[in-house]
DNA sequence: CGGGATCCGCTGAGATACTG
DNA sequence: CAGTATCTCAGCGGATCCCG
C-alpha cells in the first residue's frame, strides 16, 4: 500500500510517470478530460474492459495525487462523481504535447476515442472542483 | 514479441506512454541525455540494478522507435555505443516539462541523478547520430 | 450504486549461466 | 565486452462475492 515510488524512482518525473504509466490511468484522465465529470458507473462503462477494482484503485491514486476530485453524494443509492482538478489541466496540457509529438511520429491513428480534447470539455471537467 | 500496444492502447499517446512507462526506460533516456553517449557496460553500471536482459530489451525498443542510436564497432572486444537521436531531443524537452511540473507539485527530491539535464550533455548526446 | 475483500492465474522482471 | 537463453518466482490485474 505504501509502495509509492522508492528504489530507482525517487525523482519527481518518475513519480509522475509511475502514476501515468498505470494500466488504465491515461484512459481515465483522457476520458474525464474529454467527456467531463462522470459517475463511477459511467466511467466504468466508458473505459470499458476495466475491472471495478482497477478503476477504484486508479481513481484513488489519482485522487490522492490531487488529479481527480471525488464528489460523494450520500443519497440512496449513493452518487459519486469524479472530475478533474485544476492540477490535471497542467498535466493534460503536457499530455497533449506528448500527443502532438506522437502524432507527428506515428501519424494519427484511429481507435483513440479522445485524441483531440475539446477545450470546453476540459473546462466542464474542472468546473466542479 | 509482437505485443506492441493493441487492445486499449491504439492512440499515439499511448504508444509513447507504453514506451516510456517501461520499467527502466526513463532512466536510460535520462542517463543518456545527461551523461551523453555511453557504452553498454557504462550504461549498465550507471543505471545500476538493471539486468542485462532488461537493458538490452529496452535499448532495442528505443532503438526501434528511433529514440536511441546504436553504434556498433566490430573490434575485439566489440564496442557498442548508444546515443540519443534528434527525435529524443523533442521527447526529452517534453519530459523536462513534466519534470518541472513534478517538481512544482512534489518539490524536488534528491535521489535522481539526472534531475537537471545539462544542455551540453544533450548536445553531446545527439552529436553522434 | 459504489466499492472493499479475497482468491487465483499469468506474465513480466530478475538471476544465473553461457556465447561470439 | 555485449549480449542471448532459460528458469523461476511474485506481484499485478481480473473475476467473484459481498457489504453500506
pLDDT digits 0-9 by tens, A33-87: 999 999 999 999 999 899 999 999 999 999 999 999 999 999 999 999 999 999 9
Contact yes or no for B112 and A14 at CB 8 A: yes
Whole-number pLDDT of residue B123: 46
Taking only the tens place, the pLDDT of each residue in A6-20 is: 345 567 777 788 888
CA angle, B43 as apex, B42 and B48 as ends, to 5°? 100
Q: What is the mean pLDDT of chain A?
A: 80
Residue B23 has pLDDT above 70, yes or no: yes
Taking only the tens place, the pLDDT of each residue in B96-121 is: 898 899 888 887 665 554 434 444 44
Residue B33 has pLDDT above 80, yes or no: yes
As given in the structure block, the three cell numbers for residue B109 are: 527530491
Whether B38 and B47 have beta carbons less than 8 Å apart is answered as: no
Q: What is the pTM of this model?
A: 0.80
Q: In chain A, pLDDT over 90 holds for what percent of residues? A: 51
Neighbour-count burial for B32-47, b at 16+ CB within 10 Å, e otherwise: bbbbbbbebeebbebb
The residue among B6, B12, B15 with the most chain A CBs within 10 A of its CB, best to mutate, is B12
- Other C-beta atoms closer than 10 Å to the C-beta of B64 total 10
CA torsion sign, B105 to B109 to B114 to B117? positive
**In angstroms, how far is D18 C1' from A48 CA?**
23
Contact yes or no for A101 and B24 at CB 8 A: no
Which residues lie below 8 Å from residue B51, measured CB to CB, with a gap of 6+? none
A58 nearest nt, CA–C1':
D13
A51 nearest nt, CA–C1':
D14
Rounded CA gap, A66 and A73, in Å? Answer: 19
**In angstroms, how far is C10 C1' from A125 CA?**
37
Whole-number pLDDT of residue A10: 63
Amino acid at each position: 500500500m505504501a509502495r509509492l515510488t522508492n528504489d530507482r524512482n525517487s525523482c519527481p518525473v518518475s513519480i509522475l510517470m509511475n502514476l501515468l504509466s498505470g494500466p488504465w490511468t491515461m484512459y481515465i484522465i483522457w476520458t474525464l478530460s474529454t467527456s467531463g465529470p462522470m459517475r463511477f458507473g459511467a466511467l466504468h462503462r466508458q473505459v470499458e474492459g476495466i475491472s471495478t477494482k482497477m478503476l477504484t484503485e486508479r481513481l484513488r491514486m489519482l485522487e490522492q495525487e490531487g488529479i481527480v476530485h471525488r464528489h460523494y453524494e450520500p443519497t440512496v443509492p449513493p452518487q459519486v462523481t469524479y472530475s478533474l482538478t485544476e492540477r490535471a489541466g497542467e498535466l493534460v496540457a503536457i499530455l497533449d504535447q506528448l500527443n502532438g509529438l506522437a502524432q507527428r511520429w506515428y501519424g494519427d491513428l484511429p481507435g483513440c476515442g479522445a485524441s483531440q480534447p475539446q477545450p470546453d470539455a476540459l473546462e466542464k471537467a474542472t468546473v466542479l472542483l
